[in-house]
Structures are given as C-alpha cells and as structure tokens.
Structure 1
Amino acid sequence: MTQEDILAEFRASKALLEGHFLLSSGRHSAHYLQCARILMDPMRASRMASAMIAGLPRELRSEIDVVVSPAMGGVIIGHEAGRALGVEAMFLERPEGVFHLRRGFALTKGQKVLMVEDVVTTGLSSREAITAIQAEGGEVVAATSLVDRSAGSVELPVPFHPLIAINFPSFADDEVPEELAEIAITKPGSRSV
C-alpha cells in the first residue's frame, strides 16, 4: 500500500476527524485519527495489518514469536498483525494504571515480541508497554503502529516501523492557537488524560 492508499482507507472509513481534540497524550490537535473506525471493518483491518507487517524488514518478521499490544486501541490491530505473521497475539491492560498481562496471558523468558499500537503520538504508551513486556520476560525486537503522529520524531528503545507517519501539529495546553481554543474540546480516545 502506498501512503495515499493508506490515507484513502482512513478517509473511506471516516476515521480522519477535524475539530478540537484532546489526545491521550494530553496534547491538543485539530485532527484526530479514530483508528477504531478503520478497524471496525474486519477486511479493512486485515488489509491494514498485512500492509503494516509487509513493511517490516524480512529478517525481523522471521524472528517474531508473539505480538503484544496495549489495550484498548492496540487490541484489534495487534490481533490482525498476529494473523498476518502467523503467531499468537495478546494484550496488556492497566486497570490499576500500570500495564501488565492478565487473562492467563504469559510470555516465556526471552520470547521475541513485536509490540503493536494503533497510533503513536509521544511514544509514552509505547514505552510503558515495552517496559511491561520486558518485565513479563519478553524481548521486544521492534514496535509498529498504524500511524506515527510524530512524523518520525518519536523515540522508542526499539526499532519502530509505522505503517504511515503523519505530522498533524499537536499543542500543549499553553500552546493552543486561538482559533483552535475557540472550538469545543472533544476527547475521543480510550485513556483519560
């Protein structure tokens, strides 16, 4: 898939929203990518995951034992990435504020993990998920996501291979432009800030 093909999928699923959004990172933006909408069509989710996995280096794909994703946003794309790789997929939860495996999920020591997210903005959730996977005994060999909102500026402790990198500006509370501040804030994400 080309970058334009990927954006066409977001537009077709009405997953590219405009307004004033408070992102899970705590930053404000005039654009929001609602990956849940793009993933609600199982065939589209499968196409996106297949393209995401195809974008990984071949030698990396061959060493992945399992996919682990942070809940909530990473569950569906993580599952589809596991399907594309032919490996199991599990997810992390944080009911007490810290990610960990539940529901009988477990990693064996040294198991090679691909950490899969839907959207990465600042990388905070990704870094927290990587730390949790390591604490559970897994070795995170790489991370991927449908979207890198940082357009390549995010720093993760493992190689990061997003399907698409987009630079929609985001703003701290004290940086919000006046025209954006005049629009009512919507908080569409799954995590409270």
Structure 2
Amino acid sequence: MRLNLGCGGHHREGWINVDRAAALAPDQVVDLETTPWPWPDDSVDEILLSHVLEHLGETPRAFLAVMGELWRVCRNGARITIVVPHPRHDSFLNDPTHVRPITPEGLVLFDHARNLAWQAEGIGNSPLGLILGIDLEVTGLAHDLEEPWLSQAQAGTLDRAALIAAEKQFNNVIRQTTLEIRVHKPVRRG
C-alpha cells in the first residue's frame, strides 16, 4: 500500500490519496491529526507527505502522535518521502497555516540508533526515537535552491561551504527540502 497523505488536488495513480477535505475528492477522507489512523500496523510500503507535515501537530504532543503513526502503519524498510518549504523561505513564513518548521536535524531526533549513540556519548539531544519507541532514519536529503543561488551553484561559483553560510545568513536561499526516511522495525540497537 502507498499513501499520498494530505494530497490536496494532487492525486497519484496507484496510491491511496488521502486528505481531510472531502471537497478535494480524495480516495479516503482522514484527519491526520486524529489518531490512531485507519490503517493497520505494518501495512504501508511507501508514504508521500508533500507540503503537508509543516501543517500538522501545532502542539508537540500532536506532532509526536503524527510521527508515531507514520512509524506504526509502515512496514520494516518502508520509505517515507517528506517535501517541505524551507523554514527561512517566504513560502513558509507567509503561510499562517504552517505550524512548525520541518528540518533534517529535527527529524534525526526520531532515529533510534542515533539516539543510542548520543546517549552513549553524553550528548543532550532529545532522544525522541527512544522516548516513542520508533526508528525513522533520514537516508536522503535534497534542497531546491532559489535564484540567484541556483544559477551560482550550477555555474560552480557557489561551493557547499558558501551555500551553508548563505543558508544560515539569508532568507530565500532554499525554496524547499526533500527528505527520504527509512522505517526500521524492530528498532535498531546501535
């Protein structure tokens, strides 16, 4: 089973298209902030959340419940693709329905093996994978650059270090981020 969660008007052939707005004619009408979700444990092979996760979980408890449901419904080895606006881009900042930034560093907190390593090293990051008993590993990361940064990177006049510095200093450097997540069941022990 493949779930296109929060599909809006972007239905995908061969996927179960899910949205809370019945007017958008999804295959299933589901409010993703209401848990548990209607799919059984270990039933999903792939999930797409394209410009959705930043709208979910206004409270930490609600967001953690969403992350727990993602892990619960997925099979071992399932792939979750998350596409989000960069938190320092105008498209994120100007939308009042965006309730939280989604970053690679934030999603790594749900990686059980990394949590164990941090614990062993005395690093004080929030071990959300350990706390929730879930294991979501960030396996891929891609940024879509905004102009003029994109042209500079393509021309070879902007190296990785300069791009990282620009991202920290300026808004509108990165338009959106795509993250690939691998589900591990049972959770990894290191």
* TM score, norm. by length of structure 2: 0.32
* TM score, norm. by length of structure 1: 0.31
